[in-house]
Structure 1
Amino acid sequence: MTTVTVHCPRCNSDEVYRHGRSCSRHERFRCRSCKRVFQLTYSYEARKLGIKEQIVEMAHNGAGGCYTARTLKIGINTVIRTLKSSRPGG
């Protein structure tokens, strides 16, 4: 059996313990340092690391909302919500 050291994606701490399973049966973990709950694999594409940054970058490069959603395999409403929340002051 292989042992894999899990690190928190938020604070990079290795003080992580198992915290049950998600509805899609993926194992969940919780960080003792920042109390964040996370999974190593996600079924939902928009929860993966770096997706929000990719949405904002594609918008800055002139890509439309539908094109961004299709390319990243996420919903158009997720793209719109992310762009609204990333605006300065709003």
Structure 2
Amino acid sequence: MVLEPIYCPSCTSTNIVKHGKSTQGKQRYKCRNLDCSRSTFILRYSYLGYLPEVKQRISEMAINGSGIRDTARVLKISPTTVIEELKKRS
């Protein structure tokens, strides 16, 4: 049996504990690092719109003048997800 360490996506700390399950049944984890900006996370999201990298790309594409539908088509996510993320960022 091999134990694979789990790293926090924000601070790369290994001080991680299990923190229940999501509504889809995926394992949720909690970072115990007090300086970390992210408290809970899931390792493998089932929808690409939840990934922090995709959220960052939404902001970058909006700054560069891409429209909502264009952004959604390129990133293969829903236009509603793009709109909601842009509302949060403004």
TM class by smaller structure: 0.7 to 0.9
- In the alignment, the residues of structure 2 paired with residue 62 and residue 39 of structure 1 have an alpha-carbon distance, to the nearest angstrom, of 31
Per-residue displacement from partner, 1:21-63 (whole Å, max 9, x unpaired)?
Answer: 2222221111112471111000122111211210111122332
Percent identical pairs in the alignment equals 40
Structure 2 unpaired stretches of 5+: none
Q: What letter is aligned with 2:20? A: G
Q: What letter is aligned with 1:58? A: M
- Aligned with residue 77 of structure 1, among 57, 80, 86: 80
Q: For 1:37-56, what aligned pairs fall within 5 Å after superposition? A: 37-56=40-59
1:86 corresponding residue in structure 2:
89
- Alignment of 1:24 with 2:24, yes or no, is yes
2:12 corresponding residue in structure 1:
12
RMSD: 1.8
Q: What letter is aligned with 1:65? A: I
How many residues are paired up? 87
